[in-house]
Copies of this chain bind each other. A is one copy, B any other.
Amino acid sequence: MKLYTYYRSQASFRVRIALNLKGVAREEVYLHLGRGDQFAPDYRALNPQMVVPTLIDGETKLFQSLAILEYLEEKYPQPPLLPADIAARAWVRGLALINIADSHPLVVPRIRHYLTDELGLGADQLGGWIGHWLDAGLAAIEALLAEHRESGRFCHGDTPTIADIGLVTQVTPARTFGIDLAPYPRIMRIYDSCMALPAFADAHPAKQPDAE
């Protein structure tokens, strides 16, 4: 498989984790989002959203990180990243979507650029925006973990799922932007469980060949 990726991209991070967990080898193509590589005509023809990641599997072009995780789960069922029970699967997907579909889209580079370049926000206002939305997601995830009886070493049970991938990509930008994580002990316990696994640790932005 060929992965178009950027080390700091949390969406790329999710796919790297899943590929590692599934033991699927990949070739990587590095785009530098800060330099605008995603807007090059060749990449735009591949990914009309001009975002990373894009994953190529033979003739199949895959986009949107959660769609890619589901594809990998369907193509490589072992080890499973979703539980078997349909109610548990919905909980795992729902938890992941708090990160993927609510918090993360609000703090990606294109949004930060619009806020500063188009709307003229200062550094304090931008920091306030990022902190507000990351905190909102973290608080919701922490509350859902507190009421979920099946939360153990990981979000659901004792093996990592898509929920843990979403949890990790909520915590990583929170750390980057200096959010206080002390109010979220369940999240941080699970984050540490994840990061103890090579599949997660090796996928971390700081460990990528294109990291600066």
A-side interface residues toward B, CB under 8 Å? 48-49, 51, 57, 60, 62-64, 66-68, 70-71, 74-75, 86-87, 89-91, 93-94, 97-98, 100-102, 104-106, 111, 114, 118-119, 121, 125, 128-129, 132, 136-137, 139-140, 143-144
| Chain B residues within an 8 Å CB radius of A143 | 48
Contacts of A68 in B (CB 8 A): 90, 94
A154 to chain B, nearest CB (A): 17
The 6 closest A-B CB pairs, nearest first, are A48-B143, A67-B93, A67-B94, A64-B97, A71-B90, A64-B94
> Smallest CB–CB gap between A118 and chain B, Å?
7
CA distance A7 to B104 in the complex (A): 25
**Which residues of B are found within 8 Å of A121, using beta-carbon distances?**
119
Residues of B within 8 A of A74 (CB): 86, 89
What's the number of copies of this chain in the assembled complex? 2
Chain B residues lying within 8 Å of A57, measured Cβ to Cβ, are: 87
- Say which residue of B71, B97, B102 sits within 8 Å of A89 (CB atoms): B71
Q: Shortest CB–CB separation between residue A107 and chain B, in angstroms?
A: 11
Given A89-B74, A90-B71, A98-B49, check contact A119 B114 (CB 8 Å).
Answer: no
Q: Which of B64, B86, B98, B114 contacts A98 (CB 8 A)?
A: B64
Whether A97 and B48, one on each chain, are in contact in the complex, defined by CB atoms closer than 8 angstroms, is no
Contact between B106 and A132 (Cβ–Cβ < 8 Å)?
no
Question: Which residues from B are CB-within-8-Å of A66?
Answer: 66, 93, 97, 101
A202 to chain B, nearest CB (A): 24
Interface contacts beyond A57-B87, A68-B94, A75-B86: sample of 15 additional A-B pairs, CB < 8 Å, sorted by A: A48-B139, A49-B98, A49-B140, A64-B93, A64-B97, A66-B101, A70-B90, A71-B87, A71-B90, A74-B89, A105-B106, A106-B106, A106-B111, A114-B129, A119-B125
